[in-house]
Amino acid sequence: MRSLEKRLEKLEFYFKLAIEMGNRDAYPFYGLIMDRELGEGDVQRVTALCDELSELLQKQKAQGLVLHENLLTQFAGQLTTKLPVNDTIHALYKQGLYTELMKEFIVILQHGK
């Protein structure tokens, strides 16, 4: 059993090295996932949350609503505590994931300062 653990540790190390060797700036959300040691289930919950909120954003816009702070509040409230809200928003946006939703969140955060 110890041999298997050693092999897994080595694979984890090699995987982290491979990520470091790549262009980390192009994949900031993936880097954040690794830095915060999220599991696959955590990531699936984040993407499911973003899918749901993206759909709600589209519905709100179709209804003519222009204020979407409630979506940011829901995002912050349901996001795993392992991820910082602002860093996650910016990482998702920079990586090109959920860009419309994240752009809304960035605008809200900027106006809140």
What distance in Å separates the CA atoms of residue 26 and residue 18, rounded to the nearest whole number? 14
C-beta of residue 91 within 8 angstroms of C-beta of residue 28: yes
Q: In total, how many domains does the chain have?
A: 1
What pLDDT is recorded for position 55? 98
| Residue with the two structure tokens 């899918």 | 51
Give the CATH number of the domain where residue 81 resides. 1.10.3750.10
What distance in Å separates the CA atoms of residue 10 and residue 94, rounded to the nearest whole number? 30
pTM for the predicted model, two decimal places: 0.84
Domain that holds residue 38: 2-111
- Read off the pLDDT of each residue in 54-71 and give the average, rounded to a whole number: 95
89 or 67, which is more confident? 89
pLDDT at 5 over 80: yes
What pLDDT is recorded for position 56? 98
Structure tokens at 48: 């499911």
Confidence grade of residue 31 (pLDDT, cut at 50, 70, 90): confident
- Read off the pLDDT of each residue in 97-101 and give the average, rounded to a whole number: 98
Q: Is 66 helix (H, G, I), strand (E, B) or coil?
A: coil
